[in-house]
Chains A and B, each alone.
Chain A
Amino acid sequence: AQSVTQLGSHVSVSEGALVLLRCNYSSSVPPYLFWYVQYPNQGLQLLLKYTTGATLVKGINGFEAEFKKSETSFHLTKPSAHMSDAAEYFCAVSGWMDSSYKLIFGSGTRLLVRP
């Protein structure tokens, strides 16, 4: 069965600092991996996704993530944090389960950006 673990329910960085949000997954089949962002009082918006091909994936707002099969990881990074990046971030894995493709979400990481 697929599962997702996000390390750290809260991450705090200074404006301009590197952002690193960690995600590890468990999957018995080649995974499709996603990062979503949720701004306050809004739904989830796709940041980036990995399906096949290049393991370094670039997304919106300067974020990127690298699929590392040997480490079963898909960590999200951004070189320089902006105040507008403050939000909750969810890692998700998609796979064929119970005769359908489903998304399994991690518990989320809230990113705080200090001025």
Chain B
Amino acid sequence: DVKVTQSSRYLVKRTGEKVFLECVQDMDHENMFWYRQDPGLGLRLIYFSYDVKMKEKGDIPEGYSVSREKKERFSLILESASTNQTSMYLCASRSGRDYEQYFGPGTRLTVT
């Protein structure tokens, strides 16, 4: 079974802090994604990566950056957290030979 894990299920940070969200997948997938999920808005793509050290902006990249130093690991970085970044963050991965994305359990981030 494909397994996507995220470093924290719940996280509370203060405004202005630098926040790291880590995602690891164990299926050697080329593509990895970060989404945020907000009520009534569904999932919105923040960034994605189709290879090591490669990254592409999604629909809402402002205020975020990413890092992919190893194929299995994709990190989302909030350089200076703000209250409007309080949300559920979901990581996903996908093989280059398929269309299905596999999701991690999510990190619920609260910025106070």
Shortest B59–chain A CB gap in Å is: 9
Contact, CB under 8 Å: B103 / A100: no
Contact with A along B1-26 (1 / 0, CB 8 A): 00010000100000000000000000
A residues 72-113 with Cβ under 8 Å of B?
90, 94, 98-103, 105-108
How many pairs of A and B residues are in contact by the CB < 8 Å rule?
Answer: 55
Residues of B within 8 A of A101 (CB): 31, 94, 99
Residues of A within 8 A of B99 (CB): 32, 34, 49, 51, 94, 101
Residues of B within 8 A of A102 (CB): 45, 48, 58
Contact, CB under 8 Å: B48 / A106: no
A102's nearest neighbour on chain B, judged by CB, is B45
Contact, CB under 8 Å: B48 / A45: no
How would you classify the secondary structure of chain A's contact residues: helix, strand, loop or mixed?
A: strand
Residues of A within 8 A of B28 (CB): none
Cβ-based interface call for A18 (8 A): no
Q: Give the contact-size bracket for chain B.
A: 20 to 34
Q: Give the contact-size bracket for chain A.
A: 20 to 34
CA A106 to CA B43, docked complex, whole Å: 8
In the complex, the 4 A-B pairs of residues with the closest C-beta atoms, listed nearest first? A43-B103, A107-B42, A44-B103, A105-B42
- Given A34-B100, A100-B31, 14 extra CB contacts under 8 A: A41-B9, A41-B106, A41-B108, A42-B106, A43-B4, A43-B103, A43-B104, A43-B106, A44-B90, A98-B56, A102-B45, A103-B45, A105-B42, A108-B40
Measured CB to CB, the residues of A under 8 A from B are: 9, 32, 34, 36, 41-46, 49, 51, 90, 94, 98-103, 105-108
Measured CB to CB, the residues of B under 8 A from A are: 4, 9, 31, 33, 40-45, 48, 50, 56, 58, 90, 92, 94, 99-106, 108
What are 30 A-B residue pairs whose CB atoms fall within 8 Å in the complex?
A32-B99, A34-B100, A41-B105, A41-B106, A41-B108, A42-B106, A43-B4, A43-B103, A43-B105, A43-B106, A44-B90, A46-B102, A90-B43, A94-B99, A98-B56, A99-B56, A100-B48, A100-B50, A100-B56, A101-B31, A101-B94, A101-B99, A102-B48, A103-B33, A103-B45, A105-B42, A105-B43, A107-B41, A107-B42, A108-B40
